Structure 1
Amino acid sequence: MADEVRDNAAQARFELDADGQLAVAYYRLSGDVITFTHTEVPRALRGQGIASRLVRGALDSAKDRGLAVVPACSFVADFIKRHPDYRALLA
């Protein structure tokens, strides 16, 4: 199915490989605040929970690093609304 979510800091995005394709969540990092700007999942992978797995991994990474989160991406904002355990991360 899919590998683990990884932070590609050089390209300022979290990545998740799934079925030979790449889903990404772009971000901007400023001090101890990470702003998620856009999430992309290849059309063929949509509806399989790939974006949720990607965002969960990205938010877990932010939490582990002690970062506050700004969900400028609507998918990330909606994910946090649906998963209240991540609301404490909001800046």
Structure 2
Amino acid sequence: MSASVRDNKDKSRFELDVGQEVAFANYRLTPSAVIITHTETPRALRGRGIASELVKGALELIRRDGRKVVAGCGFVVDYLDKHPEYADLVA
């Protein structure tokens, strides 16, 4: 699923389509980092790991762009705590 995560630069958010719904993670950019400020999964899709797939895909895009990440929302903080393979991205 993470392969379909995209960076919607116009809305400053990473997006993941799930059927007719969209899960997203809002962000702000700094010169060297991406601050993920909020993640949201549509209510009907919660509890299926979609937010985790969204954050994983977002982190892969951030890594590809050579940036760091700042966890500005609790979900991303928890995700990073559980996935040490992304520790190199933490600003």
The TM-score normalised by the length of structure 1 is 0.95
**Structure 1 unaligned runs (5+)?**
none
Q: Contact between 1:36 and 1:73, CA under 8 Å: does it hold in 2? A: yes
Q: What SS does the aligned partner of 1:76 have?
A: helix
Instruction: After TM superposition, give the deviation of residue 20 of structure 1 in Å.
Output: 0.8
* C-alpha separation in 2, matches of 1:81 and 1:54: 16
Taking every aligned residue pair, what percent have the same amino acid on both sides?
51
Match of 1:70 in 2: 70
Match of 2:24 in 1: 24
Q: Output aligned runs, 1:1-91, within 5 Å.
A: 4-91=4-91
**Structure 2 unaligned runs (5+)?**
none
RMSD: 1.5
Instruction: After TM superposition, give the deviation of residue 57 of structure 1 in Å.
Output: 0.3
* C-alpha separation in 1, matches of 2:3 and 2:63: 20
Number of aligned residues:
91
